[in-house]
Chain A
Amino acid sequence: MNNSALIHITDLVKTFPMGKREFTALKDINLSFSAGEFSGIVGPSGSGKTTLLNIIGTLDVPTKGDARVIGRSVSDLNSKDAADLRNKHLGFIFQTYNLLQVYTVFENVELPLLLLKIPSEKRREMVLQSLEWVGLTDKIKSRPAQLSGGECQRVSIARAMVKSPQIVLADEPTANLDAKNSHTILQTMENLNRELNTTFIFATHDEKVIQYLRRKISLEDGQVVRDETIKG
């Protein structure tokens, strides 16, 4: 057992009710993630990647077993504490970007900081810094509808990174992007991972993503079948 682990999953089982029966989406998962990892949960569609990421992200709870995230067991968190944990320590990147359409780029990136009650001067500084990381300082006033898919995903990376969280969870971040844009955002995330020591956990079956990973956890039918560290 690795006590310095940021995320610690033991004997985790997740089932979903399916009519009268139960469907097991995750089976006996044991995993740890440390600070600064650039890792991916890899597997075909339906293998349970999103389910696992959701539990790590405190959006869902295990049916059995335990998942500890930054020292807290997700099963024990009440909704307020879970929200607090997400707010302070977790960043999310989604396949469909999930930007707020009525907000500008600036406002989208600013939102997590508003929730953290950071004063406006400081907020502005942090938002601009984050947009600089993803190379979008010239699009501050644009709205998502005016941006390309690649730009939208960069905004969403900026939004996840703006509070410098310890962990970023990225669920199929390249699924809607072409090769060129995929590489751009992966390089951006790789740089941020090296510079800020942020832990990145991807859920993906995209080869383009996989080639960047330094750790590849293969999932099949809800079970970890391989856990490989790739030397850089």
Chain B
Amino acid sequence: MSLALKLAYRNLMGAKLRTWLNVFVLSLSFVVIIWQKGILNGWDQQARRDTINWEIGGGQYWQGDYDPYDPFALEGSHARLSVATERAIAEGKLTPILISQATMYPEGRIQNILLKGIDPNQKIIELPSWELISENGDIPAMIGKRNAKNNHLKMGDYVTIRWRDANGTFDAVEVKIVHIFKSNVATLDMGVLWIPLQKHQKMMQMDGEATILVTDQKIGFGGSIVGWEFKDHYLLLTEIREMIEMKSVGGYVFFVILMSLAMLAIFDTQVLSIFRRQKEIGTHIALGMTQKQVIVLFTVEGAAHSVLAAILAGIYGFPLLAYQASVGWAMPGSTDDFGMTIAETIFPAYSIGLVLGTTLIVLITTTIVSYLPTRRISKMKPTDAIRGKIQ
């Protein structure tokens, strides 16, 4: 094997241009897959972190009937909090959020929104609820910047909202936009209006009630609450996971295309060189190599492309990827509107496993592709091969 490596090295270095062309294409697939996986990893990590910090904390309890995908169920999905729950809230382990449907009339247009009541004093999620602490009689409201942009709302604006309370009675009031927050978590922002919990409860005739309870990441809660279901991170982050998985597929397709290109080039090189180098193969055999040894030599030679590619990818890819990791990748502004949890700048996250895994895949694929054409060698008659007779 070490002999094969030595000879393969000599042959590759002698072949120059063709070798380097193949190696370059292969190195590109290396860099591209690692880069794009790194971006997705970075996005995934950021999205999870933001979602946890801003929205779901250490997990949520949902009132039994609550279903975020069914707005019609909202009317019934709220419940009074038990004494024990109230105590946990007071201890900072939980914070309640009441969710109801409403209509907003910005500039005379009609807009369906979710009204979310939150305790202005909560410290469990990063949503700046303290902005809703107010002294005067106005109902303070807070929206995200996507929502503000879509509805042309500014700080200090008043906007009319209309809702139906627990008794089915319609009512309307003007709220004052006291703060516009900026969050990567789109679900906190798009179509949501935040108001103080107690005001919300009063408006709805639902004193002491809530729809969900967010647990603190550090303290946690742990117990079970009758009539409420605990939703853990795995469940609450499903959407992010699925989105990243979907994006990954696109990336794999690209990787597979690039790899196929490289593999085709190497396969072609192998077939051609086995054909062109028949005389060389015959000579090796005459000098005392077995056909098997020649096959190993050619396979190693082909597979060595991937080793060189890994080295080359390291040479130009490493600084490129490291630079990207430090400055991040700026997302185009419009991604805000996709409703995905995404930061303005994604910092790619590369892992050793990613690099090693990619290297292994490329190495194995290259070896297989290099080996396949060499089976011709075992069918060759050495006496014909020496003369370079075309078979």
Question: Taking beta carbons and an 8 Å cutoff, which residues of A are in contact with B?
Answer: 50, 54, 57, 59-60, 79-80, 83-84, 86-88, 90, 92, 94, 96, 98, 100-103, 107, 111-112, 114-117, 159
Residues B3 and A79 in contact, CB atoms below 8 Å apart: no
Residues A98 and B288 in contact, CB atoms below 8 Å apart: no
Residues A112 and B279 in contact, CB atoms below 8 Å apart: no
Residues B383 and A59 in contact, CB atoms below 8 Å apart: yes
User: A100–B288 Cα gap in the complex (Å)?
Assistant: 15
Residues facing A in B273-300 (CB within 8 A) are 279-280, 282-283, 285-293
A17 CB, min distance to chain B CBs, angstroms: 12
A150 CB, min distance to chain B CBs, angstroms: 19
Residues B3 and A92 in contact, CB atoms below 8 Å apart: no
B1 CB, min distance to chain A CBs, angstroms: 12
Contact of A92 among B6, B287, B293, B381 (CB under 8 A): B287
Closest 4 CB pairs of A and B: A102-B14, A87-B288, A98-B283, A83-B290
Chain B interface size range: 20 to 34
Task: List 30 contacting pairs A-B, 8 Å CB cutoff, sorted by A.
Answer: A59-B285, A59-B286, A59-B383, A60-B381, A60-B382, A79-B290, A83-B289, A83-B290, A83-B293, A86-B285, A86-B286, A87-B287, A87-B288, A96-B279, A96-B388, A98-B279, A98-B282, A98-B386, A101-B14, A102-B11, A102-B13, A102-B14, A107-B10, A111-B287, A112-B288, A114-B6, A114-B7, A115-B287, A115-B289, A117-B3
- Residue B15 at the A interface, CB < 8 A? yes
A12 CB, min distance to chain B CBs, angstroms: 16
A-B contact count (CB 8 A): 68
Residues A83 and B10 in contact, CB atoms below 8 Å apart: no
Residues B291 and A79 in contact, CB atoms below 8 Å apart: yes
User: A87–B13 Cα gap in the complex (Å)?
Assistant: 25
**Given the complex, which residues of A lie within 8 Å of B293, measured CB to CB?**
83
B317 CB, min distance to chain A CBs, angstroms: 28
User: A213–B287 Cα gap in the complex (Å)?
Assistant: 25
Closest chain B residue to A94 by CB distance?
Answer: B386
Closest chain B residue to A55 by CB distance?
Answer: B383
Give the one of B10, B14, B286, B386 with max A CB within 10 A. B286
User: A94–B287 Cα gap in the complex (Å)?
Assistant: 12
Residues facing A in B1-53 (CB within 8 A) are 3, 6-7, 10-11, 13-15
A222 CB, min distance to chain B CBs, angstroms: 16
Contact of B382 among A59, A80, A116 (CB under 8 A): A59
Contact of A83 among B283, B285, B381, B383 (CB under 8 A): B285
B359-387 interface code vs A (CB 8 A; 1 in, 0 out): 00000000000000000000001110010
Give the one of A102, A114, A117 with max B CB within 10 A. A102
A168 CB, min distance to chain B CBs, angstroms: 12
User: A86–B288 Cα gap in the complex (Å)?
Assistant: 5
